[in-house]
Chain A
Amino acid sequence: MARTEGIYETAPRGGPILQCEVLSDVFQSVLNERSVLGGPPHSVDIIKHPLAIVVSQDCDLEWDHRARVPDGAPDKLLPNVLLCEVHEAASNPSNSTLWGPIRMNKNERYQFLQAPRWLEDALREGLPELLVDFKRYFSLPTGELYRRISAGQTRRRCVLQQPFREHFSNRFYCFQMRIALPGEHFSEP
């Protein structure tokens, strides 16, 4: 199958974080479970996600960014940004029966992403083929994420373009909206 053009463009240097933007070196601080109910010493786990993709809505992110000024509209602030972990597709150890549908984006839980080329990467490095597990989402305080980006700790890499952005978002939210059934429809053997 030939490579598809127009899936990505480079992430902008400034402005709001975008829906379906791929970030690298994303840091997530989580209160260590032993510290939740216990007394001191407390500790925090710093999880470093090598890659992550933003799944918050574009319009919410844009309004939030506009409101992050003195006297900005407080109702527009987005306290947290929702992200999904992004993994290198080659790290997937599955068998071909499982991997075939995943690679074609026919498994509802996963999203396979073509490798962004160096021209589509703001760091001009390019990225390998990527895999997103829709169960592996997390959130970060929006202000912290912007601060880490401006400090150069977290890097903005590339953004999915229409209609790949909508395709990705639709699949992510459809997965979150799935309905558990008490059993499957029976088929006569």
Chain B
Amino acid sequence: MFGNAFPVTGLPTTFSLQQELPGATFTHTFSLRTGEPQWATQFLPGIMMRMLCHWLLSEVSERGLPEAAETLLQVRDHYRGEPQVLRFGPPTVTTVPAVVGPPLQRPALVLGDE
């Protein structure tokens, strides 16, 4: 379906994904602005992923749509907003010189009631 989109130069930049369903026709139109600077390096991966998602959704059967919607809702909420600024970072390590002290004897084992 997306075969005519890549490679990106000298090829059509607008194409459609059409799906016939009982009672409705869904048409997705993709217009690629390939002339923009760094289009292929910066934008292409995200564009491909979105096109793939559109296509995958069109492949989901009626039975799977509620689950797909629920999952997509979770994904949308998870990535909504900017990453938070952390108050507590990961553990930090500081190395300090040391000298070996005299050996210590561990305390004797003393039995007792619990």
User: Which A residues form the contact surface with B (CB < 8 A)?
Assistant: 24, 31-32, 35, 40-51, 73-77, 79, 85, 87-88, 90-91, 95-96, 99-100, 127-128
- Is B95 a contact partner of A44 (Cβ separation < 8 A)? yes
Q: 9 shortest A-B CB distances, which residue pairs?
A: A75-B112, A96-B78, A50-B88, A90-B84, A75-B110, A44-B98, A42-B98, A46-B94, A96-B75
Return B36 CB to nearest CB of chain A, in Å: 29
- Closest-by-CB residue of A relative to B94 is A46
- Closest-by-CB residue of B relative to A59 is B114
Assess whether B24 is interfacial by the CB under 8 Å rule: no
Tell me how many residues of B have a C-beta within 8 Å of chain A: 27
- Is B93 a contact partner of A47 (Cβ separation < 8 A)? yes
C-alpha gap A101/B52 in the complex (Å): 26
- Is B94 a contact partner of A51 (Cβ separation < 8 A)? no
Residues from chain A with a CB closer than 8 A to the CB of B84 are 90, 128
- Is B86 a contact partner of A90 (Cβ separation < 8 A)? yes
Assess whether B107 is interfacial by the CB under 8 Å rule: yes
A-B CB pair tally, cutoff 8 Å: 77
Chain B interface, >50% SS class: loop
27 contacts between A and B (CB under 8 A): A24-B88, A31-B98, A32-B95, A40-B99, A40-B100, A43-B95, A45-B93, A47-B91, A49-B91, A50-B89, A50-B91, A73-B112, A74-B108, A74-B110, A75-B110, A75-B112, A87-B88, A88-B88, A90-B83, A90-B84, A91-B88, A96-B74, A100-B74, A100-B78, A127-B87, A128-B87, A128-B88
Assess whether B96 is interfacial by the CB under 8 Å rule: yes
- Is A46 a contact partner of B96 (Cβ separation < 8 A)? yes
Known: A48-B91, A73-B112, A75-B111. A42 touches B97 (CB 8 A): yes
- Closest-by-CB residue of A relative to B87 is A128
- Is B75 a contact partner of A41 (Cβ separation < 8 A)? no
Return A141 CB to nearest CB of chain B, in Å: 11
- Closest-by-CB residue of A relative to B92 is A48
C-alpha gap A95/B75 in the complex (Å): 8
Partner among B90, B95, B99 whose Cβ is within 8 Å of the Cβ of A45: B95
Assess whether B26 is interfacial by the CB under 8 Å rule: no
C-alpha gap A90/B83 in the complex (Å): 8
Residues from chain A with a CB closer than 8 A to the CB of B99 are 40, 42
Residues from chain B with a CB closer than 8 A to the CB of A50 are 88-91
